[in-house]
Structure 1
Amino acid sequence: MQLRKWGEMILKSSIAIIAFMGSFSFAQAQDFYDVSYKAGPVFKIVSPKIRIDSDYVCIPEEGNEIGYQFGLFAKVRVNNVYVQPELLLSTAQSRLDFLNYDGVVGFNPSADFEFTTLEIPLSIGVNIGNLRLDTGPGFSLMLSGNEYFLNERINVTQEYNQMTILWRLGLGLDINHLLLDFKYEFGLSKTEESLSRLIERELVPKQSQLVFSIGYSILRD
């Protein structure tokens, strides 16, 4: 049932994107507008940064792991202004150290976390030649989360906020069929990473991330 639910969501999102592009294609017939569009696959490398203010948990130097995203994008430009929705599947890992765990001084075990999310970002920007400046929201939907701690694997999907809202600031470059982007993303709603089961305290880390992406337009005007 869960896979069917997500499948229906992806299908509805795809139909919405196609309908959105079609509406602007109709406007292209009018001489007043200079309309163009692009669409295709996109791949992203994500460098997350997590901050926790706590005497019980810390993030080791290798705690902020690299994540990956891949999916589809569509870009519709009217004159110098454009809208670019995307649909992405994302994977990420992180590590936390628990200090003096369970009251044992000097016992600092590590917990590893793996997450799979569905990302739906929407960029609104302006073209300056081949350069692009954009901003916009992003919605991150939790699909699955696993914790590895003291030789145990535990599903922690329900311990996290199922949807996180992000905001993005970006700089991009168009080179023929290629779209190169560099973005900074930060959370508007904090991810409720409830670690109370491990340390008997509620912690809400703050997260931001740097994203580099490359897209290839296989559909364009």
Structure 2
Amino acid sequence: MKKLFLVGFSFFAMNAMAQNINFGLKAGLVFNADKGAVKAFNGVIEEKGKGSVGYQGGAMVRIKAGGLYVQPELLYTAFKNEFEDGGETIDVKKSRLDIPVNVGKTFAMGLVQVQTGPVFSLNFEDTIDSDGINFPDADDRDKISLGWQIGTGVNIKNLNVDLRYEFGLGKTVSKYVISEFGEFQTENRSNMLNLSVGYFF
């Protein structure tokens, strides 16, 4: 009898836990407002660049507990900074793996959400495109960076529309040695507005 009770309780607990865990996929746009900087050993080539629109996509998990939820995600993110030097356009393209972990709460019968939390970024590619000419990946870079997100969103059944502002807690530096430009480094700090659409299964 005792064993039967334990089996029944375990089944009930697992079923309750499963109801509070939702897996999903998401994709969207990132609006990179960071101007960045390109710095050579002889000074600054272009202190103020301009940001652009990038994209991200990946998977997410929402775990509900005690009226709150925790939502870790795994996202591929790509964006760039644009610079001009001597009439040439230089695009510094960056790719990274983002791991945001947001804590949030829903209101209005689950329709509206607010959230905040850290985002850990694994920076794995920094390439340069100068007027259609692609140069190799950075020789060295800050492989890990840390930011913070705050945002809101709406939930319509299994559909989730999410808007977040992300700011970096430090600069990310990449170093290059290219014969055409010499030795230099790029700097950027996350300053992004992320708009995504997701679906929980």
The TM-score normalised by the length of structure 2 is 0.76
1:182 to 163, 168, 180: 163
Number of the residue aligned with 1:128: 107
Number of the residue aligned with 2:197: 214
- Are the counterparts in 2 of residues 51 and 207 from structure 1 also a CA contact under 8 Å? no
Q: In 2, Cα distance between the equivalents of 1:150 and 1:213?
A: 31
What displacement does 1:175 show? 0.7
Q: In 1, Cα distance between the equivalents of 2:57 and 2:134?
A: 26
- Are the counterparts in 2 of residues 58 and 97 from structure 1 also a CA contact under 8 Å? no
More strand, by proportion: 2
The 5 Å alignment of 1:21-32 reads 26=14, 28=16
Q: Kindly report the root-mean-square deviation, in angstroms, between the aligned alpha carbons of the 2 structures.
A: 2.6
> In structure 2, do the counterparts of structure 1 residues 27 and 165 end up closer, same or farther at CA, with 3 Å as the change threshold?
farther
Give identity over the alignment, percent. Answer: 23
Larger radius of gyration: 2
SS in 1 for 2:33: strand
More helix, by proportion: 1
Q: In 2, Cα distance between the equivalents of 1:194 and 1:79?
A: 46
Matched AA of 1:42: K
Matched AA of 2:28: K
1:38 to 7, 22, 26: 22
What displacement does 1:64 show? 1.5
What displacement does 1:88 show? 1.0
Matched AA of 2:162: D
1:113 to 80, 92, 100: 92
Number of the residue aligned with 1:65: 52
Q: Deviations over 1:51-109 (max 9, x none)?
A: 3478630445xx322111111111011132100011111222321123xxxxxxxx343
Q: In 2, Cα distance between the equivalents of 1:157 and 1:136?
A: 29
The TM-score normalised by the length of structure 1 is 0.70
The 5 Å alignment of 1:55-204 reads 56-59=45-48, 63-98=50-85, 107-129=86-108, 130-149=111-130, 152-194=133-175, 198=181, 204=187
- Are the counterparts in 2 of residues 92 and 115 from structure 1 also a CA contact under 8 Å? yes
What displacement does 1:166 show? 1.0
Q: In 1, Cα distance between the equivalents of 2:182 and 2:106?
A: 49
Q: In 1, Cα distance between the equivalents of 2:36 and 2:96?
A: 21
> In structure 2, do the counterparts of structure 1 residues 117 and 52 end up closer, same or farther at CA, with 3 Å as the change threshold?
closer
Q: In 2, Cα distance between the equivalents of 1:75 and 1:207?
A: 24
What displacement does 1:120 show? 0.9
**Matching of residue 47 in structure 1 with residue 4 in structure 2:** no
SS in 2 for 1:51: coil
Q: In 2, Cα distance between the equivalents of 1:85 and 1:175?
A: 20
SS in 1 for 2:118: strand
